[in-house]
Structure 1
Amino acid sequence: MGDDNYKGQQIDLNTKSFVIINKKKRVNYKISWQKSRRDNTAFSIDALKGGGQAAADTSCSNEDVEDIIDGLVNAKNEKEVKEFVTKANQILPTLADGLCKTDLLKEISYTRAPLDFPYGGRLSYNEVITLTVERLGLDEKLIDTRTYIFETPQRDRWLIHYGLTYAPNAISRFSKYYALADTNATNKYTIKKENKNGPKPWDNISATINFTYPFHGDSRDFDGGFTGGFGLSAGLEVSGHAGLSMIVGQNIILSSGIVMIQKHKLNGEYKEGDIVKTNLNFDALHTKVWVPELFFTIGYRFPSNFVAAKKANSEAKKTE
């Protein structure tokens, strides 16, 4: 209160409470809440009584403190309350008299009122919360109504994350081959199958970009979703995958399903045991084919804006 240009702010998903500041005496405040996503029901709580208290009975003899306390008690509006609170905060560090400090802090406390936040648990992304404050006179007649809008961070339903995908040789298995030179003859090579010590497990790992659509639109510690994405292995084998995911918190996503992946298969011109006159390299012996395979992915979603999130969390602790 006290700032005519203030209309609201972005709040953190973990927001639990609000505080009205610069509250004026001899004015009652009645509030109601509204959240656009889950329901449109206005929540009301008891009026925040402005008081109508008499001027503070202070034993402080400091004229500046007395003037500020008198100003707070008899302020014409919230804007004046804000001005006197600012003056009080400026003079507090200079006060040596403990009684003056106590009196001033007590009067400042009357200008603040905590609000019970009616929405339990964690908020969701893309929510708009409306706080309506009715200013009532001591006769309970309406003076005016002020509306404040609070928005949670915006986020698309689709989550983009990066990760590593492992596609074992479980469904489509292909051996790899090489040309073995005949030590007893010139320009004579036999096509042989590589032994099992050739391919390594990391040959089946791809760097991937993934797109996950959560089952629920709100924010949860655990959720599921549909995932699709693309990958590229160290051997430049391209893949495209789709399946189901488990979303842990806001950043970790575990996925599994079916991937269409490129694998190296013996070129159709050759078969194991063929004799050739040329020392064929790997690319000459093999061709890439698209085959189905299982996949397992662990992905990480990077926060979009650390600075904005920290600032929103700080500002959410107070409401004007």
Structure 2
Amino acid sequence: MKRRKFLKNSSTLTAGMISAPLLASCQDPKIIETNLAENPSGTKPIAICTWNFENATAKAWEVLKEGGSALDAVEQGVMVEEADINNQTVGKGGRPDRNGNVTLDACIMDKDGNCGAVLCIQNIAHPISVARKVMEETPHVMLAGKGAELFGYEMGFEKTSLLTEKSKLEWLEWKKTSEYKPIINIENHDTIGMLAIDKNGDISGACTTSGMAYKFAGRVGDSPIVGAGLFVDNEVGGATATGVGEEVVRTVGSFLIVELMRQGKSPQEACEEGVKRILAKNKENTDFQIGFIAMNKKGETGSYCIQPGFTYRQYSESGHVNTPSDSFIKS
């Protein structure tokens, strides 16, 4: 059964269960009026992503400048990194878990709040595209492990060996000590999260990763968790995260940032508050990295991180730039 048909049937059954007060709170006229006033239809296209993945934003911009949707832009943008075997944090070539298996996580979210995710999927090079199929072709949001893999094959994705010789040799070297200690800003705990606004002013987002290098088998971080690693609300904006995913999950970081923007904070202010919420729960330990990027409906952007060194790449009619993020710890 197609997702939209399923949801239509489901909504008919559940509509009467939603109380008037709840509907009123979800449709606050003041919030909607503010959004309409601040978000004219002439919003220019823009794409941003975590870290300096210039080829990814270049691909997203290629889609946007031709009038393509934000959803297509973020999917095709992050696919560039999924296919790059020199990027050992995403897709094919990603570093394996401690058993030597490369497992991938991804999620995607569109302008209507639809979302799809795959967790711990193996043998498919583009988990972001499988996640989109979950969103569009099933009544579900998440598929995990072998079930996600089999679904991918049903959707026409090819079985691919994801462990490259380089990543394999590094894993074998790691096994000599088996010391699990992620290094700040080094490619063993990274991801690519991307947000885009298209010519219609609609927002979508995508996030994809191979996760922590040498993690326990089955470990899943924030990247495929909607609300943690990625969240989009087309009335407000979007946010996405990178770094130690466990800490982002604990604060539902990306959702928090979007809600802070809904309350009137700028993307920059919201990212700063998101990081501070995490640090408030880690008063005795700041020896890790978290980075957030956010974008509101007007196309304003912001970022913030714990440690120096995080950047984000942005492509719009104003140019293609890599912007260093401000950080809580200055040096």
Q: Which has the higher helix share?
A: 2
Q: Which has the higher strand share?
A: 1
Q: TM-score, normalised by structure 1?
A: 0.19
Q: TM-score, normalised by structure 2?
A: 0.18
Structure of larger gyration radius? 1
